[in-house]
Amino acid sequence: MKPKLLIVLILLVAIPLGVLTLGGLRMARHERAGVEQRFHASLQARLGEINASIARLVAQNAQELLRATDVASFDDESLRALRRRSRLVRQFFVLQPDGSVLYPDRNNPELTDRERDFLDRTRALWTNGEKFYHPADVQVDLQINAPVRGKGKGRRIAPSYGWHTWYRDEGVQLIFWQRLSSGHVVGADVVRAAMVADVIASLPASEVPLWAGGGSLRSELTVSYAVPDRLVLSDLDGAPIYEWGVYDPGDGEKPVVWIPVVAPFSSWRLSVYMSPSMMMAGLGRSAVFNVLAALVAVFVALLLLGIYFYRESARDIREATQRVSFVNQVSHELRTPLTNIRLYAEMLDEGLSDANDRVRRQVKVVVGESRRLSRLIGNVLTYARGQRNGLKLHQAEGVLDACVTSTLDTFRPLLGARNIVIEFEPNAPKPCIFDADVVEQIVGNLLSNVEKYAADGKWVRLETGQKGDRVWVAVFDRGPGIARGMRKKVFEPFFRCSSKVNEGASGTGIGLGIARELAQLHGGDVELIPSERGVCFRVTLRASSVPTAS
Amino acid sequence: MKAQGMKRWSAIAVGALVTVLTVEASQVNLDLSLTNPVLLADKKQTTYIKVGLTGFEMSDEHSRAPANVAIVLDRSGSMQGDKIAKAREAALMVVDRLKSSDIVSIIAYDDKVNVLVPATKVSDKEQIRAGIRRIEAGGSTALFAGVSKGAAEVRKFLERRRFNRVILLSDGLANVGPDSPGELGALGASLVKESISVTTIGLGLGYNEDLMALLAERSDGNSYFAESSRDLARLFDAEFGDVLSVVAQEVLVTIKCGKGVRPVRVLGRDADISGQKVVASINQLYSKQEKYLILEVEVSATAEGRTRSIAEVSVSYANMETRTTDRLASSVSARFSESEEMVAENVSKDAMVAAVTQIATVKNELAVQLRDKGDVQEARQVLLSNAAFLEENAKQLDAPQLQEYSGANTEDAENLDEQSWARQRKSMRGFQFFNKQQQKVR
């Protein structure tokens, strides 16, 4: 009983917990995926802002270069002087409207080393016949000052400026070009390092003291502003160009999010690295964590509830056991005096003469009632023993018919008093081995039930049978019967069919239960056989037959 | 320059004709001279022109234009201990030397860059000192980013008439961001066009001297090799002596060579040579200090007794005291004689010493290139012959500085082995830079 209860309680806790866990985790996973997506989107937006600041810087540089390349005269001297002033320009070049190189002219005997070096460095540009008609790899969002139309009608307006990028030992090389209204293209070999330095300068430092304003530092404001994660601007090969932020990613750590940088640095990347704890903070309190917390709470609640119920039921059981034990003890105490009362009453009955009729009837009543009381006590004790698994059989050789007859005889006065006609058809005359007390108790209980509940039928019939090692006794009555739905329950202890059946004597409700229990102990059963009228109980027992002495 | 043969025949010796126009007080002094004012007649030959510029004496230290300086300190892991402590001390000393109208910013970099003190007036020295004291070492070396940020801080208060300078201290190899001498040189060349110079101080034996030298050279800053952190205070002091005594900036030298004179190369400085015209720039001139450039020219054969105009030089610069753009002009011509003795007698000692120094420096650089290729023998040969060449000229010209450089070349030749090379290479690069840029302190 107890382990079963425990299992039930565990299941009571485990099943809802399991279902909740499964559902919760699934929900959390969905939720997490959603939150992660939003979080990544927000990081991407942040990188996008940085990218936009780089784009603004590129646009500024482009403006600067637009001004620098907007030259009026293409003579060598003024272009050289211009180069000395233009911080972003390593070398200028000028193309004729037809695309041929005007400056620097390779055939010019007064070419400087720098110009010759430029022509060598950019040889591929000239041999490929780059015309700078088309926008370079990427467009810069600037106003076009002097758009040049293509030849045919409906042709797209070629931009008047652009970037041209190519790769050389030190990475991406930049050329900025502008097509002037005269049709000349003025180009600038851009000092990549200067632009990279500008980009770096435009990005935040890792730590900047907060300003007190007014251009001076104040002692109370030595607090520094620092980016908690790590942002990295890296080149084509993934080598960092510039990075900022406090977090130190480990070797081989992958960025949480990265985006390509705007043109003309499209081969670069902007990435953000983050510690897992920051990720958690960024993702908000993890949904998984929430679910787990809820599960733990539910688990604790269920466990407490389980423990409470377990204790309650354990107490109930203990109390019931105590009650049974009490009744058992009382019954034991009652049995001895009752046995004496029966014995002397029976002796008195035998000793009385027929003449003394009135006294004799009274004595018979005493005998009958004391027998009933004995059965009652017998039942209680059997039940109590059954509860303690203490029922034992005491089998001995005997004849079933004789046993049933003797039991029936003890009931004759009782049944007779109720005007019940008794029929008996004995069919088990062969000796066999069985527990006579058990048979007596079972049959007694069944007859007692007839007397109590089916006296209105005024009729009872007993049949015995014997086949192989099985014997049976059937008891029929013509009482009110038992409703179909209750047929199974009548065997349960303390069950009473209904209060509407007016019982002459109140029963304990354990008679049939004990009868069945005893019969089962004896290798058989007590069954309720459906019949047209009244009730029929059939008792089957295993009773090995004794070979008759020939 | 070369030992001239003896020739009895004498001719009229005419010294270089130097015309200095309108030299007033507080003007840069232009000294245009030939190593050989008298050249051998009837012979195509190579000779050297020296264009010397000497800063005037700053009339009043207090009236000088405010300095705008970014101090960029390496605080990578290798700087730990004594180095970072000495660097902090040096930076603190710098702050002490600045006056309250000067502008300073302090930047420290490892793999990241921290702007410890954004560009600010030096009015609250205690706060700046607090910023410097916060510098701790650890991490990689984002040198390029450090310089970029330093330049950005200088740019905040950029005025052409200030002394705009980034002072970079590093003891390691740049390993985050652009890291080639070429790229840093290009950055320097770009910065100098904004009037920002970068002075580099290499500390110890771990830094890339080519990168540091090229960055300084292209931006016309100074470059120092501090073998020990003990040298830092001295070098910072020297550097600030320079920064605070800048009298001229954006000096543009234009040389027009005369007929029959072909410019070959400018020794030790970057210049554009186009036909007969040579253009070179020097960003800063310091008080009472001479900077010069040596132009190698090829002179056509000229008849005995004739005078040939060799070059006309014009110089423009921003005068830091008067805040004006001033111009100087001068020209130089040579006489031709058949007497080698005469040629030798008329050698201009000052110009010759300068030319010999530059020629020897080019040779010294060649030796480094050879040693880099692993050609130790050849490198030693070059250095030893260089030493001999210097020695000979030192005697002829009675020039102790050439004697010293001769000794240095001999020492270089003896330290080409693997163990000494890292140190020696830095020392050589340092000396080369010192020679090429006429730096005050080495």
> In A, which residues are within 8 Å of B115 by CB distance?
205, 207-209
DSSP state of A54: H
Q: Do A90 and B187 touch (CB under 8 A)?
A: no
Q: Taking residues B405-421, what's their average pLDDT? A: 93
Q: Which amino acid is at A335?
A: R
Residue A132 has what pLDDT? 64
pLDDT tens across B235-273, in order? Answer: 888 888 877 788 888 899 999 999 999 999 999 888 999
Q: How far apart are CA A495 and CA A498, in angstroms?
A: 9
Residue bearing the bigger pLDDT, A546 or B348: B348
Interface test with A, best of B157, B274, B282, B296 (most A CBs within 10 A): B274
* Residue among B124, B130, B190 minimizing CB distance to A194: B190
> Of the ranges A86-90, A204-208, B94-98, B403-407, which one carries the lowest mean pLDDT score?
A204-208
Give the mean pLDDT of chain B: 87
Q: Taking residues A350-361, what's their average pLDDT? A: 77
From the number of C-beta atoms within 10 Å of its C-beta (0-12, 13-18, 19+), residue B42 rates as: exposed
Neighbours of A422 (CB within 10 A): 15
Residue B356 has what pLDDT? 96
Residue A323 CB contacts under 8 Å (≥ 6 apart), including other chains: none
CATH for the stretch A392-542 = 3.30.565.10
Residue B292 has pLDDT above 90, yes or no: yes
**Helix B376-397 vs helix B400-414: angle between axes, to the nearest 10 degrees?**
160
Sheet holding A161-168, edge to edge: A101-103, A89-95, A185-190, A171-179, A161-168
Residue A395 has pLDDT above 50, yes or no: yes
| Contact criterion met (CB below 8 Å) for B33 and B355 | no
pLDDT tens across A75-95, in order? Answer: 998 999 999 889 999 999 998
**φ and ψ at A132, to 5 degrees?**
55, 35
Task: Give the 3-state secondary structure of A482-520.
Answer: CCHHHCCHHHCCCCCCCCCCCCCCCCCCCHHHHHHHHHH
Q: Do A191 and B279 touch (CB under 8 A)?
A: no
Q: What is the DSSP string of A214-257?
A: TT---GGG--EEE-SSEEEEE-TTS-EEEEESS--PPTTPPPSE
Closest among B237, B253, B235 to B245, alpha carbons compared: B237
Percent of chain A with pLDDT over 70: 85
Residue A332 has pLDDT above 60, yes or no: yes
Residue A355 has what pLDDT? 66
Residue B5 has what pLDDT? 39
Q: Do A207 and B116 touch (CB under 8 A)?
A: yes
Q: Taking residues B408-436, what's their average pLDDT? A: 92
Dihedral sign, Cα of residue A165, residue A168, residue A172, residue A175:
negative
| Contact criterion met (CB below 8 Å) for B35 and B334 | no
Structure-block tokens of residue A430: 């062969």
> Of the ranges A280-294, A364-378, A505-519, B263-277, which one carries the lowest mean pLDDT score?
A280-294
Residue B367 has pLDDT above 50, yes or no: yes
C-alpha distance from B417 to closest chain A C-alpha (Å): 31
Structure-block tokens of residue A297: 């709470």
Q: Do B190 and A211 touch (CB under 8 A)?
A: no
Residue A345 has what pLDDT? 86
Closest among A216, A243, A225, A195 to A50, alpha carbons compared: A243
Q: Can you say how many angstroms the Cα of residue A523 is from the centroid of all Cα atoms in its chain?
A: 48
Tokens 């905040």 sit at which residue? Answer: B156
Residue A497 has what pLDDT? 65
The B residues from 14 to 53 touching A (CB cutoff 8 Å) are none
Residue B393 has what pLDDT? 95
Residue A208 has what pLDDT? 65
Q: Is B121 on the interface with A (CB under 8 A)?
A: yes
Q: How far apart are CA A176 and CA A186, in angstroms?
A: 8
Residue A153 has what pLDDT? 38
- Distances A108 to A75, A101, A115, A541, B275 between C-alpha atoms, Å: 12, 12, 10, 132, 10
**φ and ψ at B86, to 5 degrees?**
-70, -35
Percent of chain B with pLDDT over 90: 54
Residue B72 has pLDDT above 80, yes or no: yes
* Residue among A112, A208, A215 minimizing CB distance to B274: A112
Q: What is the DSSP string of A408-474?
A: HHHHHHHHHHTT-EEEEE----SEEEE-HHHHHHHHHHHHHHHHHH-GGG-EEEEEEEEETTEEEEE
Angle, vertex CA A289, rays to CA A284 and CA A295, nearest 5: 145
Partnered with residue A209 across adjacent β-strands are A224
Domains and CATH numbers, chain B: 29-56+247-338 (2.60.40.3670), 65-244 (3.40.50.410), 351-437 (no CATH)
Q: Taking residues B282-309, what's their average pLDDT? A: 91
Q: How far apart are CA A339 and CA A345, in angstroms?
A: 10
Residue B2 has what pLDDT? 41
Backbone angle region of A182, left / alpha / beta, with phi > 0 → left and psi within -120 to 50 → alpha: alpha
C-alpha distance from B314 to closest chain A C-alpha (Å): 15
Residue bearing the bigger pLDDT, B173 or A138: B173
Q: Do A192 and B183 touch (CB under 8 A)?
A: yes
Quote the strand ranges of A12-98, DSSP E.
89-95
Three-state SS at A64? helix
Partnered with residue B307 across adjacent β-strands are B335
C-alpha distance from B405 to closest chain A C-alpha (Å): 30
Residue A226 has pLDDT above 70, yes or no: no
Angle, vertex CA B422, rays to CA B419 and CA B425, nearest 5: 125
CA atoms within 13 A on the CB side of B232: 25
Model confidence at B14, in pLDDT bands (50, 70, 90)?
A: very low
- Distances A165 to A88, A260, A263 between C-alpha atoms, Å: 15, 16, 9
Residue A212 has what pLDDT? 42
pLDDT tens across B162-209, in order? Answer: 789 999 999 878 888 888 898 999 999 999 999 899 999 998 888 899
Residue A128 has what pLDDT? 67
Closest among A450, A441, A400, A445 to A423, alpha carbons compared: A450
Tokens 């070419």 sit at which residue? Answer: A111
Quote the strand ranges of B75-211, DSSP E.
103-109, 113-121, 163-170, 196-203
Residue A450 has what pLDDT? 87
pLDDT tens across A496-517, in order? Answer: 665 555 544 456 677 888 888 8
Q: If residue B45 lies in a helix (H) or strand (E), which one and from where to where?
A: strand B45-54
Q: Is B190 on the interface with A (CB under 8 A)?
A: yes
pLDDT tens across B372-403, in order? Answer: 999 999 999 999 999 999 999 999 999 999 99
Q: Is B179 on the interface with A (CB under 8 A)?
A: no
The B residues from 134 to 153 touching A (CB cutoff 8 Å) are 142, 144-145, 147-149, 151-152
Residue ranges per structural domain of chain A: 72-209+224-282, 392-542
* Residue among B113, B127, B187 minimizing CB distance to A205: B113
Residue B218 CB contacts under 8 Å (≥ 6 apart), including other chains: B185, B186, B187, B188, B189, B192, B270
The A residues from 472 to 511 touching B (CB cutoff 8 Å) are none
Q: Taking residues A199-214, what's their average pLDDT? A: 70
Q: If residue B154 lies in a helix (H) or strand (E), which one and from where to where?
A: helix B143-156
Q: Taking residues A310-329, what's their average pLDDT? A: 85
Q: How far apart are CA B123 and CA B206, in angstroms?
A: 36
| Contact criterion met (CB below 8 Å) for B184 and B144 | yes
| Contact criterion met (CB below 8 Å) for B141 and B111 | yes
Closest among A295, A374, A310, A349 to A14, alpha carbons compared: A295
Structure-block tokens of residue A145: 């000052």
Q: Is A170 on the interface with B (CB under 8 A)?
A: yes
DSSP state of A206: S
Structure-block tokens of residue B181: 């001498």
